[in-house]
Structure 1
Amino acid sequence: MTDENDKTYDVIVLGAGPVGENVADRTAAAGLSTVIVESELVGGECSYWACEPSKALLRPVLLYGEASRFPGVSAAVTGPIDAAAVLRHRDYMVADWNDQGQVDWVTSAGITLLRGHGRLAGARRVTVETPEGETVELTARHAVAVCTGTRAALPPLAGLDTLRYWTSREATSAEQVPGRLVILGAGVVATEMATAWQALGTQVTLVARGSGLLGRVESFASEMVADRLRTAGVDLRFGSGIQMAERPDGPDGEVHVTLADGSRIVADEVLFATGRAPRTDDIGLDTVGLAPGTWITTDDTFTATEIDGEWLYAVGDVNHRALLTHQGKYQARIVGGVIADRAAGIALDTGAWGRNVGTADHLAVPQVVFTDPEIGAVGLSSEDAARAGRTVEVVDYEIGHVAGAIQFDPKYVGRARILVDPERRTILGATFAGAGVAELLHSATIAITGEVTIDRLWHAVPSFPTISEIWLRLLEAYRDRKANSGGGE
């Protein structure tokens, strides 16, 4: 270990979110002295303003919807959701935005925590401005890992700097339920927050430039979400954009939103859910020859490809490979091993399934959208396959025809789709849409990552009566199609 006056470490990690924590955990466990630098809360965006608080808002909403539709239970649902109780639960899940628990973990893992804003200052060097106004200079013997994540990307609107608006942070941490909310965007943040706030009592208008929601998932799944949002009372306005937003009566007044077609909406809050940008604009990238505010390109060991010497790593959102916490943590585990092996002079294992290579980023990236209904997707979508010119066989099955789904909800509405490689007879993609499908996703991820053939999947027997029986029904549908086409099975 390094004494407190020694500012040279084996590894410097910029950013103490889940990604940075995992990098530091792996390098410290390998015996490398490691310091992690954080300017905000230890635990990062996911813990306090994204994954954790958003799901804390959404779980009661989804549970309420399921209960209100279930025989024998629906009659007991006699009133609206207790929004104040939901917000208190959200506060509990984020520990009231107190990071002491995560600080304690960092310390217990043998990692040095330095609070402040860290910036690169040349090769293997970092300067940190502490909250007390001091400047600390750090040197890394082996590696610097940039794990600073992303921030909300904002639209190019005039007067935005004087407009009090919401990003995902304000949407997940709001202390009051707004009466009216305009959401600009059609992705995961937009649809999840529309789902949550509408159910908590907000009048929501969602404005999207495109013709639908969630453009990166199968259209059948996104259309189900749109239908449910409309039924819940969300005003969906597709094929439009925002022209102007202002609060003519001051920052505490109503927000007036003018759309591209000239129509106007008056609301209490406006949420910009228009994508993410790398949090690399003020971390000293220029001192090592990279452009500030850009994504950092890496190879599959997550080593920055434009930097000589194999000392700079970009892990998680900042490399723009997969903007998901679980993928960032996966990358972090890879990077921790890469740094440790290089420090020990061990040749890297970078074969197709080597311990030092991020294969999963190319093969099977799972994601759950916690809307009503839930969407779970991994691997290719049918549109992905078409764009790539890949021949696939598309197999669909209505989840509501499965006994376990009927036990879940007698009027269950949902669909499953798998994409099969006709030559290798392996699954290339899977999408599930329906209540409770999030827990189906890992089995699909394993099937794709493990390149399990259809023939072997026949022998993976799902329990009855569970929703996982959808796997059997999909395989039967595939077999029957082959039999009807004369292909046999």
Structure 2
Amino acid sequence: MDTNTYDVVVIGAGPVGENIADRVVQGGLTVAVVERELVGGECSYWACMPTKALLRSGAALRAARQVPGAREAVTGELDVAAVLRRRDSFAAHWQDDGQAAWLEQVGVPLYRGHGRIVSTRAVEVTTGEDGATVTLTARHAVVVATGSRVLVPDVEGLREAAPWTSREAAASSTVPGRLAVIGGGVVAAEMATAYAGLGASVTVLARDGVLPSAEPFAGERVVASLREAGVSVLLGAEAATVKRAGDGTVSLTLTSGAQIDADEVLVAVGRVPNTRDIGLEAVGLTPGDWLTVDGTLRVVGAEGAPVGDGWLYAAGDVNRRVLLTHQGKYQARAVGDTIVARAKGEAVDDGRWGRHAATADERAVPQVVFTDPEIASVGLTAAAAEAAGLRIRVVDHDLAAVAGSTLQAEDYRGQARMVVDEDRKVIVGFTLAGPDVAELLHAATIAVVGEVPLDRLWHAVPAFPTVSEVWLRLLEGYGR
């Protein structure tokens, strides 16, 4: 058994682990990364990139059909084979050579295998089927960045039916004739949109509604659009049993007694942490649990104190703060800089907006759902703001009434909502629903994070004629 020592050891080489390694190296420390699957992680191969590639072609076709002149040039339907080939290219054909080469280029050793914490600052890596191991010792910190995996609920027969998870949906080489989707969240809504556009007959079982965490109008508009596209959206529906027949087809019996037949069933009801077998028991934590962290992302125990002397950190999905790639990368930058500062004996700036604190996942999280229409949001919904005890005012505006939207598309439909903290006169939430609204989101993110007073926002003049003019209309609706 070999032993190698580095300043930092990172378990997990997804986008979070990669960014941690990059920040640590830039800070002048040494770091090793452990990965049991593909360098680049879920986002690169089974989530963000391939799924958005699946969705983009359909969105572009819909956009062309909404503009006279372009509409007449569209003579056919989507080329499904071409869409899948493009998806494959964005997933790098499920080969990680390029991302592994990047680690080598920046001087980060990659250990391929399963990593487990075995003692203080020590990670054992099983590197092959023969059980060979190497132990990596960290001088300063070990960071868990192992991400999450799909939750398969305890529905009778579901596991035995070998359902699709988000991975199979993102990587399938064929389009099923009939697809049943269990769930109503982001993955369910996006994959229903994608596969309906690719020609599948899609049924969505949305027990808790569609996009239940978003503003209500967002889910309502997505449901309406899915139904217009031929998707059967069953609100409040729940599967009681699932059975796959000998011919490969799947039958779902609902709690109502109704039956749905499909060629594939996709489970999209949530995530669980990849912490079952990473050695948490060696540091007094429970295998399979989410990892609780403090403001600088150090793992803390049941009493709220850092594990050991504070050498163990967790970033990304695994700490359950926000399960989004961009938020995980944000955490990665913060934790990398924090480890470097502590290793060098420098002061750690962990104030509300300090360099070493990951605080944006409290009330300033941006997110885009790439459905039709797109849903872009940042900060709190009106309901969440009220639950947080804020005295708020909600201002809505019809995006179709903005001059730029009429140029964007014929029969443009959309809505914008601004949630204002009345005591501080700043925006605490912003939601957009409409075609191509994703690119409008960062302006709202800056307003929320920067806590820009509404009086100051009056001087941020939107260009005419753009959809961004909605900012002026919302401010007018609020009044001075």
TM-score band w.r.t. shorter chain: over 0.9
Correspondence for 2:357: 357
Correspondence for 1:81: 78
Q: Which digits, 9 at most, give the CA deviation of each residue in 1:359-393, with x for residues without a partner? A: 21113000000000000010110111222232111
Q: Amino acid of the residue matched to residue 116 of structure 2?
A: R
TM-score, length-scaled by structure 1:
0.95
Aligned with 1:281: secondary structure?
A: coil
Which residue among 146, 150, 175 is the counterpart of 2:144?
Answer: 146
Correspondence for 1:303: 298
Two-structure CA RMSD over aligned residues (Å): 1.2
Of residues 423-432 and 72-81 in structure 1, the stretch that sits farther from structure 2 once superposed is 72-81
Paired with 2:316 and 2:347, the residues of 1 have a C-alpha distance of 24
Correspondence for 2:241: 244
Correspondence for 1:34: 31
Contact in 1 for aligned 2:391/2:423 (Cα 8 Å): no
Q: Which digits, 9 at most, give the CA deviation of each residue in 1:31-82, with x for residues without a partner? A: 2110000000000000000000000000111111111222112222222211
Of residues 421-430 and 10-19 in structure 1, the stretch that sits farther from structure 2 once superposed is 421-430
- TM-fit CA distance, 1:6: 5.5
- TM-fit CA distance, 1:432: 0.3
Answer yes or no: is 1:427 the counterpart of 2:427: yes
Q: Amino acid of the residue matched to residue 276 of structure 2?
A: D
Correspondence for 1:445: 445
Aligned with 1:121: secondary structure?
A: strand
Question: Where in structure 2 are the equivalents of 1:229-268 lying within 5 Å?
Answer: 229-249=226-246, 253-268=248-263
Q: Percent identity?
A: 55
Q: Amino acid of the residue matched to residue 163 of structure 1?
A: A
TM-score, length-scaled by structure 2:
0.97
Correspondence for 2:304: none
Answer yes or no: is 1:171 the counterpart of 2:169: yes
Which residue among 247, 270, 273 is the counterpart of 1:275?
Answer: 270
Answer yes or no: is 1:326 the counterpart of 2:357: no
- TM-fit CA distance, 1:110: 1.1
Paired with 1:338 and 1:237, the residues of 2 have a C-alpha distance of 47
- TM-fit CA distance, 1:282: 1.0
Aligned with 2:42: secondary structure?
A: helix
Answer yes or no: is 1:103 the counterpart of 2:132: no
Paired with 1:74 and 1:53, the residues of 2 have a C-alpha distance of 27
Of residues 25-34 and 43-52 in structure 1, the stretch that sits farther from structure 2 once superposed is 25-34
Q: Which digits, 9 at most, give the CA deviation of each residue in 1:114-134, with x for residues without a partner? A: 000101112111111113531
Contact in 1 for aligned 2:418/2:427 (Cα 8 Å): yes
Question: Where in structure 2 are the equivalents of 1:6-45 lying within 5 Å?
Answer: 7-45=4-42
Paired with 1:466 and 1:38, the residues of 2 have a C-alpha distance of 45
Paired with 1:165 and 1:420, the residues of 2 have a C-alpha distance of 43
Paired with 2:462 and 2:435, the residues of 1 have a C-alpha distance of 18
Correspondence for 2:223: 226
Paired with 1:139 and 1:109, the residues of 2 have a C-alpha distance of 20
Correspondence for 2:90: 93
Unaligned runs of 5+ in 2: 302-306
Q: Amino acid of the residue matched to residue 427 of structure 2?
A: I
Q: Which digits, 9 at most, give the CA deviation of each residue in 1:242-292, with x for residues without a partner? A: 11111121xx51111111111111110000001000011111111111101
Q: Which digits, 9 at most, give the CA deviation of each residue in 1:288-340, with x for residues without a partner? A: 11101110000110001121211000100000000000000000000001100
Correspondence for 1:291: 286
Contact in 1 for aligned 2:150/2:165 (Cα 8 Å): yes
Paired with 1:386 and 1:455, the residues of 2 have a C-alpha distance of 23
Aligned with 1:67: secondary structure?
A: helix
